[in-house]
Structure 1
Amino acid sequence: MAEKTIMLACSAGMSTSLLVSKMQAAAKADGVDYHIFATAASDIDHQLNSENHPDVLLLGPQIGYMAADIKKKTDAAGIPMAPINMQDYGMMNGENVLTTAEKLMGDK
């Protein structure tokens, strides 16, 4: 079973899927076991309120305008949240995005 769960959200959950793959490869190379997945912005509320809610939420740049509203929800749920660095997102830099998630979770 995965140690922690990292959720990425974007408009439809599809553009972050390649980044998820890159993050999974980086986690494997680092010897850590995380469940990393992407979802649509419309699914965020459901995921935050589920029994198996994520340990951290990262937002794709295309939904950055929603960050303030989502932050209120993640704060209420006790889940750290941050937007993904636009350069890391554009370059699909899974290692950097994974490091961001780990810092938010207190793992680094």
Structure 2
Amino acid sequence: MKIILVCSAGMSTSMLVNKMKKSATERNINAEIKAVAESELKNNLDGLHIVLIGPQVRYLEKKIKKQVEPLGIRVDIIDQMAYGLIQGDKVLDQAITLNNN
């Protein structure tokens, strides 16, 4: 499963990405996870399954959905509490649930 987290500059989600990767490894889940700025999303669509949008850039949701949903890529806003507390396991669970629906 390939997951991209979108934030304004691709920086603020890096700690969350690391926690998500750690959680995936601990649970033996094969996941490629990275954070990118919204402007870089178009360069990272190959094989992409899930886009999770940082709560601070939730205003980008419609634009991103229009761009990626026709490609079968699922989109959601990262749970604000899990984002704020850097709970990688919960955000990974969010991605898994989104991927399975």
- TM bin, normalised by shorter chain, reads over 0.9
- Indicate if the aligned counterparts of 1:41 and 1:63 stay in contact, CA closer than 8 A: no
Alignment of 1:65-76 (within 5 A): 65-76=59-70
**Residues of 1 paired with 2:71 and 2:41: CA distance?**
12
Matched, 1:12 2:6: no
- Indicate if the aligned counterparts of 1:23 and 1:94 stay in contact, CA closer than 8 A: yes
Alignment of 1:37-56 (within 5 A): 37-48=34-45, 52-56=46-50
Matched, 1:33 2:30: yes
RMSD: 1.3
Q: In the TM superposition, what is the alpha-carbon distance from 1:45 to its structure 2 partner?
A: 2.0
Work out which of the residue numbers 53, 68, 78 in structure 2 matches 1:59: 53
Scaled by the length of structure 1, the TM-score of the pair is 0.88
**Residues of 1 paired with 2:81 and 2:98: CA distance?**
19
User: Any stretches of 5+ residues in structure 1 without a counterpart?
Assistant: none
Identity %: 38
Scaled by the length of structure 2, the TM-score of the pair is 0.94
Return structure 1 stretches of 4+ with deviation > 2 angstroms.
none
Determine the structure 1 residue equivalent to 2:95. 101
Work out which of the residue numbers 82, 86, 100 in structure 2 matches 1:88: 82
